[in-house]
């Protein structure tokens, strides 16, 4: 099967995970393959494929489109996914839809969670090719039967950089070079480990001794017994402090800590994270973590009051807020959007008064909900400008790479560089931007060996943001390699840091020796960076021209409501914000774009003009 192949892609209507199908569809189209995506009626039929009416619907869709390669995606419960796929296979056999029975279907594919893939492969063997989500674009096309010579240049070049980083990482881990890494000595400045210690003081000291990056990691064990969980976390904090690898301990608090701090939790579901519920317990964390810097999640209720408590108890290294998010928009907080913005503004003013840095925990939340790359950049810029206006002196600019995980590395570099350039235009003698990249939340494989390789490859990507700057990145948020399978304990955190530092050291050595590509002037990265900057500037200009006082709570509310920041996958408040969810996005050549119903890219200038008309009431 080559050019006559027709790929049918389908999922059930109850599964909201559509991005993977969109990515595969786009890859196949770029390779000249015909693709038929199942509509809503077939999606509903796939929830019970053996019901007679549903079987007829599925049969008609396959025969009418002459589908030769059929892919089914189910990323919910693994057992349910395997059972549904088994029923689909049985329905295909009943209707003689396989090629060896006179039908058109030559090949079956299943995409699901790793356990679901295991169950499907055990049941159906060579009949099916399974996708568990770890695949690169090149691996995806190989599994789909598209030979290298039939893949377009943009796909090959986009994959080449990612494949090269993965190969670098595999070789690094195979030699266990990371186990040679020892913790740096951070002492030597007067404030070290005391209540006067700050991110700026530690970073300045590290820069003076050529010991960047500082390392931040997120830690938070959960146990059913609250007291035992807090005690375990204090033990972990002491272990991490003794290890010396970690500079900034980010406390992974529970949802109840964020939403119901100091209240009676009896009968309330806690969820994951360490369930701290008193100022005394936070103070105990600070004591246990000497000499690390400490920070934690912002609250989702009484946000300024919690920020003040964090200052008193843990001398919080910096404050992080999401502005639009952790509100009614995502169901993570109780406040309507405008009230959430008001409380976040008040908290940022408080942070400015303390002299502490601020981290806009913003752009990746838009990306989680389907936003395009221009929106990623614009949302972070808006938050950064708000911070400067409210008096923040040091901005921690977190850039979450691999988000969505289908993003190509060359596009990630362009997005990071465009965002960094735009935000650094705000810098002056009173406003400093501190870059803090990290790997994506859902990037890692549940397989530990694969995840370690991915962590090293992501670290190489971080270093390529500013490859000729030895002090960049100054801070790295290390996501532990175990995140996809289990919470990271101190041993995993420390090894993840060792992998990160070893990858940085080795990747820089290879670059100096000319053994890896220097990505500083990579043509596609340069082109896409320029494109993103132009698009972002156009959207920002439209916002500032159409929205009265955009850098206020009311202004940011209007920016969102008018549709300047598309979030097509927003689950909550869709009826309340129709213009925000009214756009469609798609992964094209490894980047996310706003598209029309035919899949054609809509220039940022055009959609910004449409949002501006809404903002003006037109």
pLDDT in tens, 542-570: 999 999 999 999 999 999 999 999 999 88
pLDDT at position 19:
64
Superfamily of structural domain 6-151: Cobalamin-binding domain (3.40.50.280)
- Which option is the CATH number for 166-523: 3.40.190.10, 3.40.718.10, 3.50.50.60, 3.20.20.240? 3.20.20.240
pLDDT band of 278, cuts 50, 70, 90: very high
265 touches 277 (CB < 8 A): yes
Reported pTM: 0.89
Indicate whether 119 pLDDT > 70.
yes
324 touches 553 (CB < 8 A): no
Indicate whether 538 pLDDT > 90.
yes
Instruction: Round to the nearest angstrom and report the end-to-end CA distance of the chain.
Output: 52
589 touches 158 (CB < 8 A): yes
pLDDT band of 1, cuts 50, 70, 90: very low
Residues of the chain with CATH 3.20.20.240: 166-523
pLDDT at position 16:
61
Q: How many other C-beta atoms are found inside a 10 Å radius of the C-beta of residue 51?
A: 13
Sequential DSSP letters for 448-496: HHHHHHHHHHHHHHHHTTSTT-TT-SSEEEEPPTTTTTS---HHHHHHH
Token reading at 129: 């090719």
What is the helix (H) or strand (E) element at residue 345, kind and residue range?
Answer: helix 337-354
Which parts of 302-336 fold into alpha helices (H)? 303-314
pLDDT band of 272, cuts 50, 70, 90: confident
Question: For residue range 200-210, what is the model confidence (pLDDT) as tens digits?
Answer: 999 999 999 99
With 0-12 / 13-18 / 19 or more C-beta atoms within 10 angstroms meaning exposed / middle / buried, residue 468 is exposed
- How far apart, in whole angstroms, are the C-alpha atoms of residue 563 and residue 323? 16
Q: Which residues pair with 112 in a beta bridge?
A: 74
Token reading at 130: 């399974």
pLDDT at position 501:
98
Q: Show contacts of 423-432: CB within 8 Å, 24+ apart.
A: 423/380, 423/381, 423/384, 423/395, 423/397, 426/384, 426/385, 426/388, 430/393, 431/388, 431/392, 431/393, 431/395, 432/393, 432/394, 432/395
Residues of the chain with CATH 3.40.50.280: 6-151
Mean predicted confidence (pLDDT) in 323-338: 94
Q: Which residue has the higher pLDDT, 21 or 304?
A: 304
pLDDT at position 17:
62
Closest CA relative to residue 244, chosen from 277, 271, 211: 211
Question: For residue range 401-455, what is the model confidence (pLDDT) as tens digits?
Answer: 998 888 999 999 999 999 999 999 999 999 999 999 999 988 898 889 999 999 9
Question: For residue range 146-187, what is the model confidence (pLDDT) as tens digits?
Answer: 998 888 877 777 788 999 999 999 999 999 989 999 999 999
């Amino acid at each position: 099967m080559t050019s006559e192949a027709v790929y049918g892609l389908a999922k059930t209507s109850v599964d909201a995970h559509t991005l993977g199908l969109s990515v595969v569809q786009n890859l196949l189209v770029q390779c000249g393959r015909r693709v038929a995506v199942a509509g809503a009626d077939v999606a509903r039929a796939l929830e019970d494929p053996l019901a007679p009416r549903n079987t007829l619907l599925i049969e008609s869709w396959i025969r009418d489109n002459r589908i030769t390669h059929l892919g089914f995606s189910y990323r919910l419960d693994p057992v349910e996914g395997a059972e549904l796929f088994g029923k689909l296979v049985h329905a295909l056999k009943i209707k003689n839809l396989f090629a060896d029975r006179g039908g058109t279907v030559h090949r079956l594919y299943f995409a699901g969670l790793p356990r679901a893939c295991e169950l499907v492969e055990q049941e159906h063997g060579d009949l099916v090719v399974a996708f568990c989500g770890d695949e690169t674009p090149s691996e995806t096309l190989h599994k789909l039967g598209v030979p290298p010579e039939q893949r377009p240049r943009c796909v090959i070049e986009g994959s080449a950089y990612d494949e090269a980083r993965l190969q670098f990482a595999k070789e690094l881990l195979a030699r266990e070079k990371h186990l040679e890494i020892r913790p740096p000595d951070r002492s030597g400045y007067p404030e070290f480990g005391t209540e006067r210690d700050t991110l700026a003081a530690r970073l300045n000291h590290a820069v003076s001794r050529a010991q960047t990056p500082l390392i931040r990691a997120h830690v938070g064990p959960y146990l059913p017994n609250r007291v035992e969980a807090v005690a375990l976390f204090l033990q972990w904090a002491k272990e991490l402090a003794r290890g010396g690898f970690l500079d900034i301990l980010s406390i992974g608090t529970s949802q109840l800590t964020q939403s119901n701090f100091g209240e009676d939790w009896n009968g309330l579901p806690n969820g994951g994270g360490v369930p701290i519920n008193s100022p005394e317990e936070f103070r105990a964390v600070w004591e246990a973590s000497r000499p690390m810097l400490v920070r934690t999640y912002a609250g989702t209720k009484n946000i300024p009051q919690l920020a003040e408590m964090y200052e008193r108890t843990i001398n919080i290294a910096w404050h992080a807020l999401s502005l639009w998010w952790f509100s009614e928009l995502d169901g993570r907080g109780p406040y309507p959007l405008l009230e959430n913005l008001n409380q976040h503004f008040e908290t940022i003013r408080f942070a400015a008064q303390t002299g502490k840095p601020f981290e806009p925990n913003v752009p990746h939340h838009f990306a989680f909900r389907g936003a395009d790359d221009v929106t990623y950049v614009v949302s972070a810029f808006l938050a950064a400008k708000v911070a400067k206006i409210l008096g923040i002196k040091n901005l921690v600019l977190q850039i979450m790479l691999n988000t969505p995980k289908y993003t190509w590395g060359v596009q990630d570099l362009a997005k990071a560089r465009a965002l960094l350039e735009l935000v650094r235009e705000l810098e002056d003698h009173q406003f400093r931007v501190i870059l803090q990249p990290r790997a994506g939340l859902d990037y890692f494989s549940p397989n530990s060996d694969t995840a370690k390789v991915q962590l090293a490859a992501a670290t190489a990507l971080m270093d390529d943001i500013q490859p000729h700057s030895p002090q960049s990145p100054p801070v790295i948020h290390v996501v532990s390699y175990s995140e996809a399978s289990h919470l990271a304990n101190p041993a995993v955190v420390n090894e993840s840091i060792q992998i990160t530092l070893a990858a940085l050291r080795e990747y820089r050595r290879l670059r100096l020796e000319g053994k890896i590509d220097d990505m500083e002037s990579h043509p596609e990265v340069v082109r896409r960076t320029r494109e993103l900057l132009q698009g972002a500037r156009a959207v920002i200009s439209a916002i500032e021209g159409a929205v009265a006082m955009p850098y206020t709570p009311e202004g940011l509310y209007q920016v969102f409501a008018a549709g300047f920041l598309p979030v097509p996958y927003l689950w909550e408040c869709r009826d309340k914000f129709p213009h925000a969810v009214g756009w469609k996005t798609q992964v094209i050549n490894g980047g996310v774009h706003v598209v029309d119903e035919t899949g054609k890219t809509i220039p940022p200038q055009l959609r910004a003009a449409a949002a501006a008309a809404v903002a003006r009431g037109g």
